[in-house]
Amino acid sequence: MPELILTYRGVVYPWQCDHMGHMNVMWYVSKFDEATWQLLGTLGLTPAYLRAQNRAAVAADQHITYKRELVAGDTVSVWSGVLEMRSKSIRFYHQMRNDVTSEVAAATILIGVHLDAGTRKPCPFPDEIAERGRQMTLDHEPEM
């Protein structure tokens, strides 16, 4: 049974906090983006693959739920999993946790599309990437 995998670990820096003293929403998105590239790399959608095959991976949809504030000095990790692997798109999940309290600070579900970089049109994933995604697909929808 597939589990969430660790795709990001880092810290909240003071300059990532807003006037209310907590991490600004733009940094949640940034940390989730770094986790996305780790997840895609695990599937085989590495920068080298994208360049060599003239492909692109783009975000088509993203929904974020904020659950707990993070402040300067908090250490965080992002845990990720595939929710659905389709022929030209992937739906996946990230969960950001406070490493000290283990509380979920935020969660997001994204849809990414595999593109031909020249035509900018969706194209099918190679069989081995699609199969790896299916093998990594969680057997349940995580709580947002």
The packing angle between helices 25-43 and 127-136, to 10°, is 120
Rounded-to-integer distance, Cα 106 and Cα 69, Å: 9
Quick one: which H or E segment has residue 47?
A: helix 47-52
pLDDT-derived band at 1 (thresholds 50, 70, 90) equals low
For the chain, the straight-line distance linking the first and the last C-alpha, in angstroms and rounded, comes to 20
Map out the domains of the chain with their CATH numbers. Answer: 19-136 (3.10.129.10)
The percent of residues in the chain predicted with pLDDT above 90, rounded, is 95
Among candidate residues 97, 91, 113, the one with its CA nearest the CA of residue 7:
97
Quick one: which H or E segment has residue 107?
A: strand 104-116
Summarize pLDDT for 4-41 with one digit per residue, the tens.
Answer: 999 999 999 999 999 999 999 999 999 999 999 999 99
